[in-house]
Every structure is written in structure tokens, then in C-alpha cells.
Amino acid sequence: MNILILGGGGREHALAWAFRQNPKCDRLIVAPGNAGIAAIARCAALEITDGAAVVGFCEEQAIDLVVIGPEAPLASGVADSLRAAGIAVFGPSREAARLEASKAFTKEICDACGAPTAGWARFTDAAAARAHVAARGAPIVVKADGLAGGKGVTVAMTEAEALTAIDAAFGGAFGDAGTELVIEEFMAGEEASFFVLCDGATCLPIGSAQDHKRVGEGDTGPNTGGMGAYSPAPVLTEALQARVMAEIVKPTIAEMARRGTPFQGVLYAGLMIEDGRARLVEYNVRFGDPECQVLMMRLGAQALDLVHACAEGRLAEMTVNWADDHALTVVLAAEGYPGDTRKGGVIGGLDGLPETATQMLFHAGTATQEGRVVANGGRVLNATGRGATLAEAQARAYALADAVDWPEGFYRRDIGWRAL
């Protein structure tokens, strides 16, 4: 099978690494890829949000399966173009991708199918939004409706913070994404992520994870795309997973199908867990980054069979071979992240690192310049370990991170603390 993966981060490196272990994987192309991916796949330059360009590339390269990593090509309908051209694709249609692209849409779906989530209201003008905050008080959560690169959510502990967020959004801080706001009840509890493959009808859980969103140790400082993650999430017990499937995931999938916009791909449910009950915080319609790295480390070669079956509507035939294992990944980021970072810093210490089923250094924002690997983004490397216990996985991940020689990089030393 010839496979094209769209994306070029740690998530896509982990997908490529897992697929490569499966004998069904023949040619593997990743667009745009990165320096680490280039060692196991061909990297191609391609406008990945342009459906016609992606279809043309697939026809030229005899691609049998396309796996879409990031949200941008999903939100721009690349999966629709591929399906229309008869090319198997893992990833939802533009309509189904609204589960991530519009917070108000997700809330409507939750209300329509009875999935537990925070109480909410939507606003298109500042005065009404401000009056709502005054009536409800803090803490309260203000969200730009659209995709805002992870920056559109303010968990306001005071009314003043909420009002500032409202004014920023209507003042244009998030562009079109902020012309509509969702204001939500604040939910207390512990967050966890749950990943479920869906082929439109059948849903198959493939694992849970928890991430560390804040840049600083002890979960302090500004929010990021994620500084590390581990799987499984101890808080998501088997019993709770069964309830989440019955109360949240399956009703959502059924509602999407009922509307004539079935969801195909991976549904990533962000959950808030309090007193043994889970409520939905948000959906993403793709693998998390860096959550994908720990899921792929645990699934290995079967990931390709699962994703392929999902794309072809054959999930009902599939089971997941669970190992009683743990994985943990540590993000190495460039100085300044999540703010501005410098590109081009040389990364050493990469030769001779172990690349095994229990230790993998996935590349995220890296590139090759004059034969050397250099930093090319904010989150740059993902040191990932797997083990029989979370502590063992953590030790293996940090051994890799410590071996990297990159003076301009930093990483948190406490990934996994909550579970350990």
C-alpha cells in the first residue's frame, strides 16, 4: 500500500514510524515532513490545504491511502476532495470537522444528543456578552467560536478577565474566529483525553492520554500546544471509558450520522472529570500533538491496520491488541516558546540514539541545513519512552532528552508528575 501523510510535526513522525513497522506499508510519503521523517519516508512539498493539489499528487504517485494529521486541511475540506476522487482517506469531511472548527456547533450537537458538557450561551455582540458575565459572575470561560490556534479560550477567574477577553475578541484579536463567542460555565476537575476511531457508524477506542499544557514546571506559565503527554490516563478507568462511550462519543457519532454528515477519522474528546463523572470540554477531529506520539508508541504496527480499516468503513471487523504498557513523551522546545523563537540553531547528539520500540526521539519542528539538523519551529523534538510502568517510560524518555545537545532548547523535568 502506498501512503501519504499530510503534516510535518511530531504527530506525523510518530504515525510514519508506526506505519513503517507494518509490512503492508510500501511507499510512504509525508508532506511536508521534517528532518526526522526524512530518514524513514520521502518528504514532499505540497500545498496540503489545497484539495485539488492533494488529489493531483495522489493520482501521480498512485497513493492508496491518505492520512491527514493537522486540522487545517480538514477544515478546508481536503478529505472531501479525496473521497470525491475515490481515494481512501483517514480524516473527517469539512462538515464533520466543524466539531473542532466551531465551538458553538459542538455545543449544539451535545445539546441535541444529550452529551454532558458545561452550560453555554453564544454571543455576536459585546454588550450582550458583557451583561451575561455580569449576571453569571466568575469563574467563567470565554471562547472564540472558531479556530484560533489554541489561543481563543480564556478561563477567567475574575469578571474583569472575562470582560477583557470579550473586548479582545470583538476587537478583532482572533480575526474571523472571534466574531462569535461561546461563554461557558466553568468546570472544575481533572482533564484527560480519549481517542476513538470512527468510520461513520462504528466507534473503536484506541487509548487515553493526559498532557501538560503549561510551559513551566508545576503546570505554570502560559499555555502551549502541549509540553508533554503520557498514556494511559489513570483517571480514565475502564468503567469511566464505558460511560464516556455511552453518554458522549456514541451519541455524538449517531447525531452526526443522523444529520447526514457522518464522522470518519479520530475523534479526540477532551474531558473534565470530577467525582467519577466526565463532561465534554471540547472535541478535536484529529490526533493530538504530542498525544499521538504516546498512542503510536503503544499501538505500533497495528496503527496502520486500524487507520486503514477506519478509512474503508471496516472498523466493525477490528479489535485493538492492548498491551499493559505505558508511554510518555517530553517536548523539547526552542527558547522563547510559546512566544517567538529563533530558527536555525544546530541540534547535536542525535547520532547513535536508540530507535527502538521503547525509545524514540520524534522530530517536530526540525529541518536539515548543510547536512546538519537545525531547529525550525517552537516545539522541536519529542523524546518518547515506553515501559511496563509509567516510571519506566518516563526514565527512558528523559534519558533520550538528556542525550540531545541543543543549548537553545529547553524541556520540563516533571512530565507525568500527576500520575506518578
- Binding part of the chain for ligand GLY, among 84-92, 287-295, 316-324, 327-335 by CB under 6 A, reads 287-295
Q: Distance (Å, rounded) from C-alpha 274 to C-alpha 229?
A: 20
Stretch of 15-23, 237-245, 284-292, 297-305 lying at the interface with ligand GLY (CB under 6 A): 284-292
Which grid coordinates are listed for 33? 515532513
The entry of ligand AMP, ligand GLY, none near residue 282 (CB within 5 to 8 angstroms by kind) is: ligand AMP
Out of ligand GLY, ligand AMP, none, what residue 173 binds, judged by CB under 5 to 8 A for its kind, is none
Question: What does the block give as the cell for 58?
Answer: 495522489
Contacts of 267 by beta carbon, 8 Å cutoff, 6+ apart? 99, 195, 196, 197, 198, 203, 249, 252, 253, 283, 285
* Residue 288 contact partner, candidates ligand GLY, ligand AMP, none, CB within 5 to 8 A by sort of partner: ligand GLY
**Phi/psi of residue 66, nearest 5 degrees:** -110, 130
Q: Is 401 in the site for ligand AMP (CB under 6 A)?
A: no
Q: What is the residue whose three cell numbers read 506559565? A: 221
> Could you say which of 41, 153, 271, 332 contacts ligand AMP (CB under 6 A)?
153
* Total number of residues that touch ligand AMP (CB under 6 A): 13
State the pairing for strand pair 3-7/65-68: parallel
Q: Does 209 bind ligand AMP (CB under 6 A)?
A: no
**Least distance in Å: CB of 226 to ligand GLY?**
3
* Nearest alpha-carbon partner for 292 in 2, 14, 8: 14
Q: How far is the CB of 191 from ligand GLY (least distance, A)?
A: 11
Q: Residue 307 pairs with which residues in a beta bridge?
A: none
Q: Give the integer Cα–Cα distance in Å for 339 and 29.
A: 31
10: contact with ligand GLY by CB under 6 A: no
Residue from 2, 44, 186, 343 touching ligand AMP (CB under 6 A): that is 186
Work out whether 226 is an interface residue with ligand GLY (CB under 6 A): yes
Chain positions 54 to 73 lying near ligand AMP, rule: CB under 6 A, are none
**Under rule CB under 6 A, residue 225 binds ligand GLY:** yes
Smallest gap from Cβ 269 to ligand GLY, in A, equals 12
Selected from 190, 191, 219, 414, the binder of ligand AMP by CB under 6 A is 191
Q: What share of the chain is helix, strand, coil (3-state, %, to 5)?
A: 30, 30, 40
Stretch of residues binding ligand AMP (CB under 6 A), selected from 182-190, 302-310, 399-407, 409-417: 182-190
What number of chain residues touch ligand GLY (CB under 6 A)? 7
Dihedral angle over CA of 242, 68, 303, 194, nearest 10: -20
Query: Which grid cell is 108?
Result: 449544539
Q: How far is the CB of 87 from ligand GLY (least distance, A)?
A: 25
Backbone angles phi, psi at 214, to 5 degrees: -80, 150
Does position 417 interact with ligand AMP (CB under 6 A)? The reply is no
DSSP lists the bridge partners of residue 199 as 264
Q: Among ligand GLY, ligand AMP, none, what does residue 225 contact (CB within 5–8 Å per kind)?
A: ligand GLY
**7 φψ region: left (φ > 0), alpha (ψ -120 to 50), beta (else):** left
Subset of 105-144 contacting ligand AMP (CB under 6 A): 118, 141, 143
Binding segment (CB under 6 A) for ligand GLY, from list 50-58, 244-252, 286-294, 341-349: 286-294
Helix (H, G, I), strand (E, B) or coil at 317: helix
Query: Which among 343, 338, 329 is positioned nearest to 297, based on CA atoms?
Result: 329
Binding at 289: pick from ligand GLY, ligand AMP, none (beta carbon under 5-8 Å per type): ligand GLY
Return the range that interacts with ligand AMP (CB under 6 A); candidates 184-192, 228-236, 245-253, 377-385. Answer: 184-192
10 Å Cβ neighbour count for 156?
21
- List all residues 6 or more positions away from 154 whose beta carbon is below 8 Å from its beta carbon: 141, 142, 143, 161, 162, 164, 165
In this structure, are residues 189 and 180 in contact, taking their beta carbons and an 8 Å threshold? Answer: no
Report H helices in 263-377. 291-299, 302-311
Binding of ligand GLY at residue 255 (CB under 6 A)? no
Measure CA of the first residue to CA of the last residue in the chain; give whole Å.
41
- Minimum CB distance to ligand AMP, residue 187 (Å): 4
> Does residue 325 touch ligand GLY according to CB under 6 A?
no
417 interface partner picked from ligand GLY, ligand AMP, none, CB below 5 to 8 A per type: none
CA-derived radius of gyration, the chain: 21
Q: Which residues bind ligand GLY (CB under 6 A)?
A: 211, 225-226, 284, 288-289, 291
Contact residues toward ligand AMP (CB under 6 A) are 118, 141, 143, 153, 155, 184-187, 191, 270, 281-282
